[in-house]
């Protein structure tokens, strides 16, 4: 009995939150780490950007016996105090495995497997971090690491890609959000934890890994990728049609600075608005998300976390002053928009600062804290959920766009024939003078070709249409993407419509109408 009580007390001490370091990491995406520090306030000084929130989640329900399949044996119920019965049951199972399991396991290995099983059964993001995993996690926080550049999560028995990060080996190899990894180097990943999968995917730079991928209704196919040091350029920006386009592929320590620099460099440009492209952004640092939100918000709540303790229940607020000077803002999201970008989209939507366009986001709205148990090992535990300024929980719900726009390619018909009034025989011109303009032979030929083309579709166009749209977009310039990417075109059209409306209300619509109102 003394041995059992000693085991129980040791487990209680090790797993007690009060005995662990609370300066650990909070996580904003499945694998990205961020700290609890508030946003950088070098540009502005909000009164109190970070506040402890009294609105905590309700305590655990201990009357859930009907939902639990574990039955305490009668011998334990009769002889052991109620508050120790479950601990004794664990010890009983521990002893059974040690004495009778066919392969034989050391006490240390049994405990490790028990802890791994306990944490991984809670949710897809809680886990035990052994020495190698904990070291890898700390290296990620430093910004550079070797690997493929994909964000992954567990999906039943396999590993699903949330999103590849722009310009990484996985991105260049054509991996997509939603792809399922079935094999890594001919080893089936069924039953792998996230950390086990990552340890297989990572390796020295310039070494190769072979993946077997399942994509939608397509058969399994192989992808060979060469590992590399992952150093992400999180912000890419340019101007097209008087609209600023800012692509954020991840949230790191340089993200806010990159956006501020773009706004500074183009402060004299007469922009109609900005497009923030958060599609297939797998997450990043909370601090970076708060900093980016501060750029576009003039006060207001950014996000709140609610856990079972006040320490894990916090609210983040924006400072005073919109660095974009209130430029109309459209944010693009899709199912690959996960965690940190969901916080940004939710903050801008909740404060009525932006129009959200696209499809419902991933819905990763939980907070993980990495609690070191020693210098070498740690526990990653889900401790809270994210809530938007309007009080909506992001977890498993995601951000709902204001304007639904599915991922699609725009294909403009070729060899079409347009006929207008001035092309008709004896049509009047603008001065109402009779003319003898006639449809020329060349125009007639175009017309006949167009009719013929409707019956005989271009085989090359059909083949191109069958190719994966998303992979095609990665090779295009911004101008080409605006012409072909339906979601991006929707965002640009929304900003153009806002600009035209504002100009018409102010009586200065000539320039806007001249630029966008006439058919090109």
φ/ψ (deg, to 5) at 76: -75, -40
Helix axes 107-120, 85-100, angle to 10 degrees: 130
Question: CA 304 to CA 392: how far, in whole Å?
Answer: 10
Q: For residue 480, what is the enclosing H or E element?
A: helix 478-484
C-alpha distance across the termini of the chain, in Å:
86
Helix-, strand-, coil-residue percentages of the chain, each rounded to 5: 35, 20, 45
* Tokens 């660095």 found at: 323
Coil, strand, or helix at residue 305? strand
CA 464 from chain center: how many Å? 28
The DSSP string of 389-457 is TTS-B-TTT-PPPSEE----B--PPSS-----GGGSTT-B-TT--B------HHHHHHHHHHHHHHHS-
* Tokens 């001490």 found at: 13
As annotated, the active-site residues are: 339, 364
Coil, strand, or helix at residue 10? helix
Coil, strand, or helix at residue 164? strand
Question: CA 399 to CA 361: how far, in whole Å?
Answer: 5
Question: CA 425 to CA 407: how far, in whole Å?
Answer: 44
Q: Per DSSP, which regions of 80-234 are E strands? A: 127-129, 145-147, 150-155, 158-164, 180-184, 187-188, 208-214, 221-226, 228-230
By the 8 A CB rule, do 292 and 284 touch?
no
By the 8 A CB rule, do 323 and 296 touch?
yes
Nearest to 471 by CA among 96, 171, 178: 171
Nearest to 495 by CA among 379, 337, 327, 334: 327
By the 8 A CB rule, do 151 and 338 touch?
yes
Pairing of strands 235-240, 243-248: antiparallel
Question: CA 198 to CA 147: how far, in whole Å?
Answer: 9
* Tokens 């006639």 found at: 438
Question: CA 294 to CA 289: how far, in whole Å?
Answer: 9
Burial label, 223 (beta-carbon count in 10 A; 0-12, 13-18, 19+): middle
* Tokens 């006040």 found at: 310
């Amino acid at each position: 009995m003394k041995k059992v009580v000693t085991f129980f007390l040791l487990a209680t001490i090790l797993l007690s939150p009060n005995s662990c370091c609370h300066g650990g990491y909070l996580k904003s995406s499945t694998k990205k780490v961020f700290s609890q520090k508030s946003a950088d306030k070098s540009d502005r000084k909000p009164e109190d950007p970070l506040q402890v929130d009294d609105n905590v989640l309700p305590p655990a329900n201990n009357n859930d016996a009907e939902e639990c399949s574990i039955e305490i044996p009668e011998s334990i119920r009769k002889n052991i105090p109620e508050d120790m019965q479950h601990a004794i049951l664990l010890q009983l199972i521990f002893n059974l495995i040690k004495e009778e399991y066919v392969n034989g396991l050391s006490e240390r290995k049994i405990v490790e497997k028990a802890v791994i099983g306990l944490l991984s059964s809670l949710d897809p993001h809680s886990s035990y971090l052994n020495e190698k995993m904990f070291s890898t996690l700390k290296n990620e926080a430093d910004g550079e690491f070797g690997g493929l550049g994909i964000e992954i999560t567990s999906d039943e028995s396999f590993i699903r890609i949330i999103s590849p990060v722009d310009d990484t080996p996985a991105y260049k190899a054509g991996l997509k959000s939603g792809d399922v990894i079935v094999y890594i180097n001919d080893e089936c990943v069924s039953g792998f934890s996230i950390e086990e999968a990552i340890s297989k995917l990572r390796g020295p730079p310039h070494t190769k890994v072979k993946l077997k991928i399942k994509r939608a209704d397509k058969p399994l196919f192989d992808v060979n990728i060469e590992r590399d040091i992952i150093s992400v350029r999180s912000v890419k920006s340019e101007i097209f049609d008087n609209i600023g386009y800012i692509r954020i592929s991840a949230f790191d320590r340089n993200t806010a600075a990159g956006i501020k620099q773009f706004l500074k460099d183009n402060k004299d440009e007469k922009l109609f608005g900005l497009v923030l492209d958060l599609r297939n952004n797998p997450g990043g640092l909370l601090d970076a998300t708060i900093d980016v939100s501060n750029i576009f918000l003039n006060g207001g709540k950014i996000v709140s976390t609610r856990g079972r303790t006040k320490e894990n229940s916090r609210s983040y607020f924006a400072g005073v002053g919109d660095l974009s000077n209130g430029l109309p803002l459209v944010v693009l999201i899709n199912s690959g928009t996960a965690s940190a970008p969901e916080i940004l989209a939710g903050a801008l939507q909740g404060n009525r600062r932006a129009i959200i366009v696209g499809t419902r986001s991933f819905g990763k709205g939980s907070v993980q804290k990495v609690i070191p148990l020693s210098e070498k090992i740690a526990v990653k535990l889900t401790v809270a959920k994210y809530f938007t300024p309007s009080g909506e929980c992001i977890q498993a719900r995601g951000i709902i766009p204001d304007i639904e726009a599915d991922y699609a390619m725009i294909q403009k018909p070729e060899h079409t024939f347009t006929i207008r009034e001035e092309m008709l025989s004896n049509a009047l011109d603008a001065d109402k003078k009779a003319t003898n303009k006639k449809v020329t032979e060349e125009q007639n030929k175009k017309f006949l070709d167009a009719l013929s083309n409707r019956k005989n579709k271009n085989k090359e166009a059909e083949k191109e249409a069958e190719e994966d749209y998303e992979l095609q977009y990665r090779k295009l310039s911004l101008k080409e993407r605006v012409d072909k990417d339906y979601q991006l075109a929707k965002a640009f059209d929304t900003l153009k419509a806002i600009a035209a409306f504002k100009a018409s209300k102010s009586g200065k619509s000539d320039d806007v109408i001249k630029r966008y109102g006439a058919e090109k």
